[in-house]
Amino acid sequence: MEKPLLDLTRLGMRFPTNDGEFIALKNVDLQIQQGEFISLIGHSGCGKSTVLNLVAGLYLPTDGGVIVDGREVSGPGPDRAVVFQNHSLLPWLSVYQNVELAVKQIAGKQDKAWIKEQVMHYLDLIQMTHAADKKPDEISGGMKQRVGIARALALQPKVLLMDEPFGALDALTRAHLQDALMAIQAELNNTVIMITHDVDEAVLLSDKIVMMTNGPAATIGEVLEIDLPRPRERVAMANHPQYQHYRQSVLKFLYEKQSKSAVTKPEVKHAATEASAKAQDEPAAKADKPAARQA
């Protein structure tokens, strides 16, 4: 097997808390090849975002390490672009300018014409050239999320990291963006790690589904290889026997093997962190909902 692009070895994360140390992750081992599409799935609070933040370099691990293309991650960098659930576009800049910021980060000595060509290329990939001059609050939630993806792709990252990128969108918009992401990935052959709660999304998009056990000390429980032909068409897939089999395997892992009742209640011990996590989630989810409907 060729050398993996991403190598997570004995990765662990312990957070200091008022009640002492909280072991969020323990012994996470994962190798990802160039061009692979990986989904991370697991119950809320198990540690998915922590894994992503460690790969992004937003957190530094307390144990083990992350290697990307032969170099140990020691902080954030443009080789690892992140797309969050809530786009995080700069509201005072146009769609064009938001993507331009990313292009300028990697432009080096390239001239203005090159920058413009790049921006338009990524806007075209997400079919947003018509809205280049609009401000984020003038476009729908689905469109904002598309611009967030364009901005991330414009960095030409080695790895695209997505934390529930479609989680705040309605089902139809979500389906549309999943199709767009599959088409882009087929064209650019990006390496992607995507966190999702959605079993169908995971099966439809992934080469591998990485299923995490419940915390504390969460780790990888099972890895499911999705051997379905590409391009994948959602209606055809829904009737594919193998698709149903994969779907069942993930559901079984989540609701039988790792059912929530088996959790040793990290929430109780860490009421403060859970509460602050909720406080972060809620306004964002509300803010995106009305916009998402018009996508």
Ligand X SMILES: Nc1ncnc2c1ncn2[C@@H]1O[C@H](COP(=O)(O)OP(=O)(O)O)[C@@H](O)[C@H]1O
Q: Which of 17, 189, 248, 294 binds ligand X (CB under 6 A)?
A: 17
Name which of 7 and 164 has its Cβ closer to ligand X.
Answer: 164
Q: How many residues does the chain have?
A: 295
Q: Which partner, ligand X, Mg ion, none, binds residue 24 by CB below 5 to 8 Å per kind?
A: ligand X
| Single residue of 8, 11, 46, 147 touching ligand X by CB under 6 A | 46
Residue 47 lies near ligand X (rule: CB under 6 A): yes
Q: Which residues bind Mg ion (CB under 5 A)?
A: 49
**Orientation angle between helical segments 95-106 and 141-154, nearest 10 degrees:** 20
- Chain Cα centroid distance, residue 110: 30
22 binds, among Mg ion, ligand X, none (CB under 5 to 8 A by kind): ligand X
Q: Does 167 bind ligand X (CB under 6 A)?
A: no
Q: What span, in angstroms and rounded, lies between the C-alpha atoms of 68 and 66?
A: 7
Cβ 268 to ligand X shortest distance, Å = 11
Indicate whether 215 belongs to the interface with ligand X (CB under 6 A): yes
9 belongs to the binding site for ligand X (CB under 6 A)? no
Q: Does 266 bind ligand X (CB under 6 A)?
A: yes
Phi, psi of 38 (to 5 degrees): -115, 130
Residue 101 neighbours by CB under 8 Å, 6+ apart: 90, 93, 151
Question: Which of 166-174, 233-241, 257-265, 271-279 is the region at the interface with ligand X (rule: CB under 6 A)?
Answer: 271-279
Residues 129-158 that bind ligand X (CB under 6 A): none
Q: Is 87 in the site for ligand X (CB under 6 A)?
A: no
CB of 278 to ligand X, least distance (A): 10
160/219 Cα distance (integer angstroms): 21
Does the protein bind ligand X through residue 12 (CB under 6 A)? no
Beta strand ranges found along the chain (DSSP E): 6-17, 20-32, 37-41, 63-68, 71-72, 80-83, 159-163, 191-195, 208-212, 220-225
For position 57 contacting ligand X by CB under 6 A, the verdict is no
Least distance from C-beta 90 to ligand X, angstroms?
A: 25
DSSP letter at 126?
T
Q: Based on CB atoms, which residue is closest to ligand X, 85 or 118?
A: 85
In angstroms, what CA-CA distances link 222 with 36, 40, 217, 234? 17, 11, 15, 24
Strand order in the sheet with 20-32: 20-32, 6-17, 63-68, 71-72
Contact range with ligand X by CB under 6 A, out of 16-24, 26-34, 104-112, 234-242: 16-24
Which of 270, 288, 291, 292 binds ligand X (CB under 6 A)? It is 270
- 106 burial level (CB within 10 Å; 0-12, 13-18, 19+): middle
Closest distance between Mg ion and the C-beta of residue 213, in Å? 15
Which stretches of the chain bind ligand X, using CB under 6 A? 15, 17, 22, 24, 42, 44-50, 215, 266, 270, 273-274, 277
